[in-house]
Each structure stands twice: as C-alpha cells, then as structure tokens.
C-alpha cells in the first residue's frame, strides 16, 4: 500500500500514485481521481497525478475540503455525442474524410482521437452529389459535431449545419483562407 501522505493543506502539489492515502473521510471529500476506501474512513487516490486540495465555499453545506488528483490524461477533454469539436483533416478519400480531433468545445484534448466525416454527413442538401475532394483537403481546420462514438477506430462527425464546416485552410499557393465568421470573431476580440 502507499506511504502515508500528509493530510490537510500540507502535501498539496505532491505526486501521488494509486492506493496512496490522501486523507481522512471525516475531513475530506473524494473528488476526481480519488475514492473513499471500503472501510469508509480513508480517502485514497485512484490515479497517478498531483494531489490538489480545494477549500470549501464559506456557504457550502458540507464544510470538508475536496481532495482530487489532477494532471492525468483521463481528465482531459473527451469528445461526447453532441459536442462541437475542432478537427484537422488528415486524409480525404472517395466517400469519407479522416480527421484528427484537436479541441472539444474550447478545451484542447490530451490524447489522440480520430474522427470520420462520411459523404452523407458533409452537408444537409444533395448529399449524394458531394465531392469529398471539393469539400475538404488534407490540412483543413474544420468545426464539426460529434454524431456518435462510432466504431473502434473513429468517432463519426458531421458538418451538416450552417455554423459547422471548414474554418481555416491553406491554398495551393500557401495563401491562408479563413472563414468570414472566424474573421468577425477575431476583430471583436481585438477591440474589446
């Protein structure tokens, strides 16, 4: 079993491994990456990471600090069906395009996720006349919606909505092409 780690404010920022004692359940609530041991009294770590203690809000009902283990890639963003992701197209084929998922909502992912955009999910109208090569090129940055967890290899993505699709690309002459929507956002941020 693990070495006894300090309880309370001390030991914050220490590296812990699964099984290590983080504190007593009467003084701590188990947060992410921690659990209450079967005996009901100790809080132990379930992941490898950095121990972090969050002090309770002054008006919270439960006045115990929350201890969690952070820094593990399992806590990075994970694409869920219905979330909007930013992807980079890696391969374009006759009926599908493969993409590398880079951000979920506005958080960057910590590990590699692959997505596939099928011919019928590129747009909402005339889906059998879609030419994959005219819609996407390798290297394009695309905003897409996760349809489902897909198969073992990739998530299924869709760009069949007005606010989805290619947002940034490079032309053959290496000129940068940006969608008008993205340009508007950039201007607003600069003038705030």
Partner 1 sequence: MSNQTIKLGAGLRQDCDTISVMKAGTLRLSKPNKYWVESSHKRYVPCVEDTVLGIVVDSKPDNFLVDIKAPTLAFLPVLAFEGGTRRNIPKFEVGTLLYVRVVKANNSMNPELSCMDDTGKAAEFGPLKDGYVFETSTGLSRMLLSSPTCPVLEALGKSLSYELAVGLNGRVWVNAASPSTVILVSNAIINSEFLSGVQQKIMVEKLMKRLQ
Q: How far is the CB of 98 from partner 1 (least distance, A)?
A: 11
From candidates 69, 92, 109, 141, binder to partner 1 by CB under 8 A: 92
Residue 88, interface with partner 1 (CB under 8 A)? no
Q: Does 122 bind partner 1 (CB under 8 A)?
A: no
Contact yes or no for 179/168 (Cβ under 8 A): yes
In this structure, the dihedral spanned by the alpha carbons of residues 77, 83, 86 and 89, taken in order and rounded to 10 degrees, is 110
The stretch near partner 1 (CB under 8 A) out of 6-14, 21-29, 46-54, 92-100 is: 92-100
74 lies in the binding site for partner 1 (CB under 8 A):
no
For residues 186 and 81, what is the distance between their CA atoms, to the nearest angstrom? 28
Determine the Cα–Cα distance for residues 22 and 8; give it in Å rounded to an integer.
Answer: 9
Per the CB < 8 A criterion, the answer to whether 117 and 97 are in contact is yes
| Residue 18 main-chain phi, psi, to 5 deg | -60, 135
Site membership for partner 1, residue 47 (CB under 8 A): no
Q: Determine which residue in the list 3, 94, 174, 188 makes contact with partner 1, applying CB under 8 A.
A: 94
Judged by CB under 8 A, the stretch of 18-26, 33-41, 49-57, 86-94 that binds partner 1 is 86-94
Q: How far is it, in rounded angstroms, from Cα 137 to Cα 44?
A: 48
Query: In which element (H, E) is residue 48 found?
Result: none
User: Does residue 72 belong to the site contacting partner 1 (CB under 8 A)?
Assistant: no
Min CB(95)–partner 1 separation in Å: 10
Quote the least distance from Cβ 92 to partner 1, whole Å. 6
The stretch among 37-45, 80-88, 132-140, 159-167 that binds partner 1 (CB under 8 A) is 132-140
Shortest distance in whole angstroms from residue 138 CB to partner 1? 5
Angle at 103 between CA 97 and CA 109, to 5 degrees: 110
Q: Which helix or strand (DSSP H or E) is residue 188 part of?
A: helix 180-191
Place of tokens 């439960």: 62
170 binds partner 1 (CB under 8 A): no
Q: By CB under 8 A, name the binding residues for partner 1.
A: 91-94, 132-133, 137-138
């Amino acid at each position: 079993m693990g070495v006894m780690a300090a309880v309370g404010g001390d030991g914050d920022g220490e590296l812990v491994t699964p099984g290590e004692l983080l504190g007593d359940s009467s003084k701590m609530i188990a947060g992410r990456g921690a659990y209450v041991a079967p005996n009901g009294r100790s809080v132990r770590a379930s992941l490898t990471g950095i121990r972090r203690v969050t002090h309770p809000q002054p008006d919270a009902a439960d006045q115990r600090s929350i201890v969690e283990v952070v820094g593990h890639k399992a806590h990075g963003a994970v694409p869920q069906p219905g979330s909007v992701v930013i992807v980079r197209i890696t391969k374009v084929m006759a009926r599908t395009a493969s993409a590398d998922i880079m951000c979920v909502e506005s958080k960057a992912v910590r590990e590699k996720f692959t997505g596939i955009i099928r011919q019928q999910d590129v747009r909402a109208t005339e889906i059998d006349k879609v030419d994959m090569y005219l819609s996407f090129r390798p290297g394009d940055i695309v905003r897409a919606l996760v349809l489902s967890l897909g198969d073992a290899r990739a998530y299924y993505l869709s760009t069949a909505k007005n606010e989805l699709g290619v947002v940034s690309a490079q032309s053959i002459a290496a000129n940068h092409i940006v969608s008008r929507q993205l340009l508007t956002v950039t201007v607003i941020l600069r003038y705030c």
